[in-house]
Amino acid sequence: MDKPLIPEYLMDYIDSLVPPRLPEMQAMEDDAEKMDFPIVGPASGYLCYQVARMIGAKRVFELGSGFGYSTAWFARAVTENGGGEVYHVVWDEELSRQAHAHLAALGYDGIVRYHVGEAVQTLRETAGPFDLIFNDINKEDYADSLPVIAGKLRPGGVLIVDNMLWHGGIFDPQDKTPATESIRKLTGMLTRSPDWIASLVPVRDGVIVAYKI
pLDDT digits (tens, 9 = 90+) for 56-83: 999 999 999 898 999 999 999 999 999 9
16 in a structural domain: yes
pTM for this model (two decimals) = 0.95
pLDDT in the model for residue 77 = 98
pLDDT, tens digit (0-9, with 9 covering 90-100), for 98-111: 999 999 999 998 99
pLDDT, tens digit (0-9, with 9 covering 90-100), for 12-41: 999 999 999 999 999 999 999 998 898 999
85 in a structural domain: yes
pLDDT in the model for residue 1 = 47
199 in a structural domain: yes
In b/e form, how buried is each residue of 79-88, taking b as 16+ CB within 10 angstroms? bebeebbbbb
From residue 4, alpha-carbon distances to 11, 12, 63, 187, 205 in Å are 10, 13, 26, 21, 9
Residue-range definition of the domain harbouring residue 85: 8-212
Give me the number of domains the chain comprises: 1
| Beta carbons within 10 angstroms of residue 156's beta carbon | 12
- Residue 168: CATH number of its domain: 3.40.50.150
Question: How remote is the C-alpha of 95 from its chain's centroid?
Answer: 16
184 in a structural domain: yes
pLDDT, tens digit (0-9, with 9 covering 90-100), for 161-213: 999 999 999 999 999 999 999 999 999 999 999 999 999 999 999 999 999 99
pLDDT (mean) for 141-148: 98
